[in-house]
Homo-oligomer: A and B are copies of this chain.
Amino acid sequence: MKNESIVAAKKVVHLKAITDTCQLCHAKDLCMSSCLKPDDMERFKHIIGHRAPMDRGQRLYMAGEHINSIYVLHSGSVKSYLESEDGESQITGFYLPGDVIGIHGLKNATHSDTVEALETSSVCALRFSKIEDISTAFPPLQNQIMRFVFSEMDHDQEMMMVLGKMSADRRMAYFLLDMAKRLKNQGLSNSRINLTMTRHDIANYLGLAVETVSRILTRMQKSEIIDVERRSITILDHAKLKNTYSCVEDDIVNSHFQ
């Protein structure tokens, strides 16, 4: 979140044919383009374009900028965050390939969050002049985008519960289980989590201090719930982790079922 970090160049890299691009894309099954048939693709060439890949720390867009595209993350991972007047920032989400980015702030056609790459990442842009253009252009695409808008709403609401009601341990358990679930959707293991964000990022996202995150991770390791090795976390005991998340006291569980 350094101020010096460079905003990614807005150069659009047109690949030889958008049809090929989407067909060859390794995120195509996750992407909203999966709803498009090859002949539909032809119609949408002009609104779809790949951006030059971003390095870690580079920004895709910043809060306050006019929205002229929404994006699908093609590879890598990014974080989005809000900044308040007094300079505090709140990470609002971490995104993985296939996720749709840039849908917050559409009400005023102005990005309300800033998106920054956590590692080398690339996106596919969906350009438009008015958001209604996408609506009217092609219903299946519109619906697919809406699915992502709706799941983003579900996530944001879920975060209210996490930030408003849960203890530090529960928040951490939530984070790990959520990441595991999403990585599984990516076709990866649901036990091995390779984090691309710092402890600081995790802490900020969960409304905790870095030290608390660190302490909870070591505590969970000692309880043999997870194995921590720098940025690589392995879930050893899914059940225990879920119990931590569900806030069910182990003692109570045991006394009931044994």
A92 interface residue per 8 A CB criterion:
yes
Question: Do A164 and B163 touch across chains, with their CB atoms under 8 A apart?
Answer: yes
A24 interface residue per 8 A CB criterion:
no
A163 in complex: contacting residue of B86, B105, B136, B163, CB < 8 Å: B163
What DSSP secondary structure best describes chain A's contact surface? helix
Query: Which of A29-37, A48-56, A143-151 is found at the contact surface with chain B?
Result: A143-151
A146 in complex: contacting residue of B135, B152, B156, CB < 8 Å: B135
Q: Roughly how many angstroms separate A158 CA and B247 CA in the complex, as a whole number?
A: 26
Question: Do B150 and A139 touch across chains, with their CB atoms under 8 A apart?
Answer: no
Count of interface residues, chain A, beta-carbon cutoff 8 Å: 45
A106 in complex: contacting residue of B150, B158, B163, CB < 8 Å: B150
Chain B residues, Cβ within 8 Å of A164: 90, 163, 204-207
Q: Roughly how many angstroms separate A45 CA and B84 CA in the complex, as a whole number?
A: 44
Instruction: Give the 3 A-B residue pairs with the shortest CB-CB distance, closest first.
Output: A164-B207, A156-B156, A107-B150
- The contact sample of 11 A-B pairs, CB cut-off 8 A, is A84-B161, A88-B161, A92-B157, A105-B150, A107-B150, A112-B157, A132-B139, A135-B139, A135-B146, A152-B153, A164-B207
